[in-house]
Amino acid sequence: MKRLRVVLSLVLAFVLTLSLLSGCTSKTKQQSSQPNSTGQASKNKNFKVGLVTDVGGINDHSFNQLAYQGIEKAKNELGVTVNFIQSKQQTDYVTNLTQFAQQKYNLVIAVGYLMKDAVEQVSKEFPDTKFLIIDSDITDRPNVASATFKTEQCGYLVGVMAGLMEKEKNAKLNDQNVVGVIGGMQIPPVDSYIAGFQQGVKAVNPDTKVLVSYTGNFNDPASGKQMALTQISQGADIVFGVAGQAGDGVINAAKEKNIYAIGVDADQNYMAPDTVMTSALKKVDTATFDTIKSVLDNNFKSGLVYFDLANDGVGYAKPIKDVPQSIVDKVDEYAKQIKDGTIKVSDQVQK
């Protein structure tokens, strides 16, 4: 009996280790398109990029997935070696970042505002490794670049679209003039979207009521769905989910109740083609790809790197045909005014 127990505990320990490792599937297949010279190719192949996702994970249909698409593109077009680890919880951040840095990865990418403290700590211990953090504002490290997205700008544009749609009439719209936005955690990269959305709606339709709720997490689509159903019961006929995977539930609720949803980060129209009328885009893939390229070309710049409407770092996805061309033109007009600075969008949520 005792021997069995020893064996069992060993098996358990093994299973535990396996499950911890299962997040980091190695992605080092042969490249399909090789860069021109073989010398360059082998140099690029030795160039290693590690991506640490936030707890939302790589299939979040939004920013973690986009970050991953950016490094995949770098793998295919630049021939660099890429790898990723999915963080299971916030306490994993330091361990995961350290793991890549210790293995002498040239560039380590941290996806998410919540990883700020972890990146500050690890980047200090590994001054020779370059770090990119998405959605943060670390400026005092020579080896850290922070990609900051002006998502209040694209939030504003989809807000304008929602506000104008409220004046339209069709089977999916009621006459209560209420729209809703569902955030994940109450943190700046989420709130900037919400703030922009509120201002955009008010700019074109001051009487529209904008409901704001938070699920408190990014990985619970069931509560995202109930949250959206709650807003729908309060009159909302357009819901905007800014909640990672929890946002999947928002889109599901909109589809079930036959109203409109607005996608976030990536173009999420494919999840419900008649429901997702547009998506607010945050081009994290551009940020990761460009940074990989800059490090490869010895052009790495530390500090803040801004992505906004002007440099096409944020935007909105092509609306479905339910959105009249006149509204799309209006949205583009607002986009122009934001680009040339006529309209300044605040990133602070209105109470």
Partner 1 sequence: MKEILLNPQLWSATLAMATPLALPALGGTFSERSGVVNIAMEGIMLIAAFFAVLFAHLTGSAWLGLLGAIVVGMIVAVIFAWAAVTLTADQVILGMAINIFASGFTAYLLNTIFGFSGTPTDTPMLPNINIPVIKNIPFIGQILSGNSVIVYLMIILIFASNYFLFHTNLGLRIRAVGENPEAAETAGINVIKLRYLGVALSGLFSAIGGAYLSIGLLNSFSTDMSSGRGYIALAAMIFGKWTPFGSFGAALLFGFATALSMQLQNSAMSKNIIMMLPYILTVLALVGVGGKSVSPAADGVPYTPKK
Q: Which residues bind partner 1 (CB under 8 A)?
A: 1, 4-5, 8-9, 12, 15-16, 18-23, 25, 55-61, 65, 68-69, 86, 88, 186, 211-214, 216-217, 219-223, 225-227, 229-230, 232-234, 245, 248-249, 252, 270-272
Nearer to partner 1, 271 or 277 (CB): 271
Nearer to partner 1, 129 or 252 (CB): 252
Nearer to partner 1, 110 or 181 (CB): 181
H-helix segments, 207-309: 221-233, 246-256, 284-296
Could you tell me the CA-to-CA distances from 18 to 22, 52, 93 in Å, in that order? 6, 18, 18
> Minimum Å distance from CB 162 to partner 1?
17
> Minimum Å distance from CB 225 to partner 1?
6
Nearer to partner 1, 153 or 213 (CB): 213
Residues linked to residue 108 through DSSP beta bridges, in sequence order: 50, 131
Nearer to partner 1, 65 or 148 (CB): 65
| 115 membership: H or E segment, kind and range | none
> Minimum Å distance from CB 224 to partner 1?
9
Give the whole-angstrom CA distance, residue 80 versus residue 276: 35
Q: Would you say 122 and 141 are in contact if contact means Cβ atoms under 8 Å apart?
A: no
> Minimum Å distance from CB 112 to partner 1?
15
> Minimum Å distance from CB 270 to partner 1?
7
User: What's the number of CA atoms in the CB half-sphere (13 Å) around residue 128?
Assistant: 6
> Minimum Å distance from CB 1 to partner 1?
7
- Please list, residue by residue across 312-347, b when 16 or more beta carbons sit within 10 angstroms of its beta carbon and e when fewer do: ebbbbbebeebbeeebbebbeebbeebeeeebebeb
Nearer to partner 1, 61 or 150 (CB): 61
Neighbours of 4 (CB within 10 A): 8
Q: How far is CA 94 from the centre of its chain?
A: 20
Q: Which tokens belong to 263?
A: 């996608």
Nearest 5°: the CA angle 97, 101, 106 is: 120
Q: What is the DSSP string of 22-65?
A: TT-----PPPSS--SSHHHHHHHHT-EEEEEE-TT-TTSSSHHH
Nearer to partner 1, 93 or 126 (CB): 93
> Minimum Å distance from CB 2 to partner 1?
10
